[in-house]
Amino acid sequence: MAKKQKKATPQRAPSKHQLSKWQRQMKIRRIVIIAAVVFLAGILSWVGYGLYQDYKSNPSHEVAIEVNGVPFTVEYYVKMLDIYVDNYINFTVNTYLDFYMQVYNSTREETIQLLTSNAISDLSQNTDNITDMITGQVADDIINVELLRQGAKNLDIEVTSEEIDAKLAELEWPNERVYQDIIRSALLQEKLGEYFGSQLPDTMEQAHVQAMLVESQEVAIELIGEIDAGGNFTALVEEFSCNPWIEGDLGWLPRELMPNTLIADAAFNLTVGEISQPIYDRAATKNVGYWLTKVTDKQDEEINALVMLLGSEAEAERVKAQLAAGGNFSALAMEYSQHESKSEGGELGWLKKGDMGSETFDKVAFNLTDNEVSAPVKVESVQTTGGYWLVKVIERGEHELTTNAREGLIGKHLNDWVEELRENSTIENRLNKEKIGWAISEVLRKR
């Protein structure tokens, strides 16, 4: 049975490839953080778009977005964008400062300049599609903030100008419309939170559950046997869980706060004390994968390789058996692989050590003979999809809402309410590639 490998703290600076891979992963991760903070916490962050395509007329006074007849000009969009860029650069510097100082042995001032330059370059070049992703998000945030204002007004919930002015003074922000809207949104969310919180009961039907995602049905069945024989669920989570975001004791939760409907159905249908049968989840994300590699040629210190990335050791063994029986590597890669090379039949071309960002991969691949297929190589630096949930119900019944559960329900009800507002609103987004390009150009040229 495949167990989670213990990770040792690296004792040397990462290679350029590892640093690049780490940067890409962290960039995508910070996008998720920024997008969540914008609407749920009211603290806006923003970035720009790629190189400006010549836009001959100045569109600043044209309407960019209209929400139920309330217009927002391109100029407004640019001002909001400028705030996002400042916060994005600050976020980047604060996140990577210590790491870069260690890697590059540079001073604090030099590192801040480097990180700032890198952030602006990433925005200009749309590195990893970061700016594409956020360009759509900025319009959504403007729309959501206006929907929030309109919806709250219908509930007789408003923020006074005195409240806004006091908060602007406290934060030492300019008394301009974009900053006023940011403050209004944050204060409205607080008041709406109180409103939705007041509608919650003190107790609800809830279940106290434990859960973990494992890589295959074979592993799940074996773990059920261990648990039935007296094994400790929590200890097994430490060894076999493949999803660090949803694992172990989830505590008391009502149905609507369960991580997904699969876990919710098990939590409210199993007998107390019972563990579920393996529950397949095609969409579940795992922090584990298994490489099968075939080297077709070698030259000096490079290899020409075909690869496929499988979601479990059991699946990798089944595919390897098909290869041993005469199966075509490229055809099987196109059918089963979860790597980006899938459409090319697993063809990676020529590789040097370090190109795949895994020493474990290198140790195996660079020691294969021509046309030899490797044994499955487990790596935890990749993500694959598909797995099996195991759920155990510890207790179930009417239970007092914890502080976390109450906050979770408030957030969910608020989000559902905003989505309903959106569905029943007339929203026009008139931003096009030229207008967005002009806006980004305006923001970046000041830096």
So what's the pLDDT on residue 132?
Answer: 81
**Does 274 share its domain with 423?**
no
346-405 per-position pLDDT tens digit = 999 999 999 988 899 999 999 999 999 999 999 998 999 999 999 999 999 999 999 999
Structure confidence at residue 352 (pLDDT) = 93
Q: Is residue 57's pLDDT more than 90?
A: no
129 and 172 fall within a common domain: yes
pLDDT for the residue 19: 44
Are both 29 and 71 inside the same structural domain?
Answer: yes
| 121 in the same domain as 189 | yes
CA distance 359 to 367: 12
Task: Tell me the pLDDT of the chain averaged across its residues.
Answer: 88
Q: Please, which pLDDT band fits residue 1 given cuts at 50, 70 and 90?
A: low
Give pLDDT, residue 14: 43
Are residues 231 and 158 both part of a single domain?
A: no
31 and 103 fall within a common domain: yes
How many Å apart are CA 115 and CA 119, to the nearest integer?
Answer: 6
In whole angstroms, how far apart are CA 17 and each of 20, 22, 29? 5, 8, 18
Higher pLDDT, 246 or 4: 246
Q: Do 257 and 300 have their domain in common?
A: no
| Cβ-Cβ contacts under 8 Å for 419 (sequence gap 6 or more) | none
Do the domain assignments include residue 1? no
Task: State the total domains in the chain.
Answer: 3
Query: Which has the higher per-residue pLDDT, 54 or 383?
Result: 383
Identify whether 10 is part of a domain.
no
Residue 43 confidence (pLDDT): 37
Confidence of residue 2 (pLDDT cuts 50, 70, 90): low
In a domain, 177, yes or no: yes
At residue 35, does pLDDT exceed 70? Answer: no
Please give the pLDDT value at position 153: 97
**Who contacts 94 (Cβ-Cβ below 8 Å, separation ≥6)?**
none
Instruction: Give the domain extent around 174.
Output: 16-199+412-444
The verdict on 390 and 302 lying in the same domain is no
State the pLDDT confidence band at 419, using cuts at 50, 70 and 90: very high
Pairwise CA distance, residues 135 & 440, whole Å? 9
CATH number at 250 reads 3.10.50.40
| 171 and 42 housed in the same domain | yes
* pTM (predicted TM-score): 0.76
More confident residue, 278 or 35: 278
Given a cut of 90, is residue 199 above it in pLDDT? yes
429 with 62: CB under 8 angstroms? no
Specify if 7 maps to a domain: no
- Residues above pLDDT 70, as percent of the chain: 87
Contact criterion met (CB below 8 Å) for 39 and 421: no
The answer to whether residue 84 is domain-embedded is: yes
The answer to whether the CB of 45 falls within 8 A of the CB of 141 is: no
Q: Summarize the confidence of residues 60-76 as an average pLDDT.
A: 97
Residue 176's closest CA among 314, 269, 307, 82? 82
If pLDDT is split at 50, 70 and 90, which confidence band does 9 have?
very low
CA distance 273 to 317: 34
The per-residue pLDDT for 47 is 35
Domain membership of residue 146 (yes or no) is: yes
Quick one: pLDDT at residue 126? 87
Structure tokens at 164: 């806004």
> Has residue 41 got a pLDDT over 80?
no
Q: Supply the pLDDT for residue 32.
A: 41
Same domain, 268 and 157: no
Q: Assess contact for 230 and 385: CB atoms under 8 A.
A: no
**Please, which pLDDT band fits residue 134 given cuts at 50, 70 and 90?**
confident
Asked if residue 110 belongs to a domain, the reply is: yes
Are 33 and 104 members of one domain?
yes
The tens digit of pLDDT for each residue in 269-328 reads 999 999 999 999 999 999 999 999 999 999 988 999 999 999 999 999 999 999 999 999
Residues 29 and 129 in one domain: yes
Report yes or no on 4 lying in a domain.
Answer: no
